Amino acid sequence: MKKLLSTGYTDTAFNIATLTLRATFGIMIFLNQGLSKLNKFSELEHSFFDPLHIGHRWSLVLVLFAEIVCSLLLALGLFSRLAAFVLFIDLLVAVFVFHRGQPIAQYELAIVFLSAFFALLLVGPGKYSVDGMTGK
């Protein structure tokens, strides 16, 4: 019981926590967001949200890069902070631009992802990652 109320933690617990965050959120955004957009590419390429005014297709390509490539890199722990940064920007746009004016229930999952990627951006990948194994 004393350990449950403690604010201390071990390096092992920290590294397992970062592994869990990276793997869970990286794989979830890959499977639930990235793959579904990739499978509907031909339907979405002419109507996808275009906040940067670079064209619907290129906005979709950027989001696919974030939600497929960067999510897998983050799950592996390779270039983790860079991948977390790209995903953080992706979710910032989703939360504060795309979902602006909508009820919070419409985008509460995006806020959860945004928080997780921000935390990983701050703390890094942890020891149990490709970055951690290479000493980065």
| Residue 52 resides in a domain | yes
What is the DSSP-derived secondary structure letter of residue 39? H
The per-residue pLDDT for range 97-121, each reduced to its tens digit, is: 998 999 998 999 999 999 999 999 9
Q: What is the mean pLDDT of residues 16-26?
A: 97
Between the CA of residue 34 and those of 76, 93, 97, 103, what are the distances in Å? 16, 16, 19, 23
| Residue 2 resides in a domain | no
| Residue 3 resides in a domain | no
31 pLDDT higher than 80: yes
- Pick 3 or 83 by higher pLDDT: 83
The CA-based angle 77-80-86, given to 5 degrees, is: 135
The DSSP string of 104-133 is GGGTHHHHHHHHHHHHHHHH-S-SSSHHHH
Q: Into how many domains does the chain fold? A: 1
25 pLDDT higher than 70: yes
35 pLDDT higher than 90: yes
| Residue 22 resides in a domain | yes
Show Cβ contacts of residue 92 under 8 Å, excluding neighbours closer than 6 positions.
114
Q: How far is CA 18 from the centre of its chain?
A: 13
Q: How confident is the model at residue 24, as a pLDDT?
A: 97
| Residue 116 resides in a domain | yes
| Residue 6 resides in a domain | no
pTM reported for the whole predicted model: 0.91
Dist. CA 26–CA 20, nearest whole Å:
10
Average of per-residue pLDDT values in the chain: 93
Q: How confident is the model at residue 136, as a pLDDT?
A: 63
Token digits for 119?
């935390």
Q: How confident is the model at residue 2, as a pLDDT?
A: 73
Give the domain extent around 55.
Answer: 14-134
| Residue 65 resides in a domain | yes
| Residue 46 resides in a domain | yes
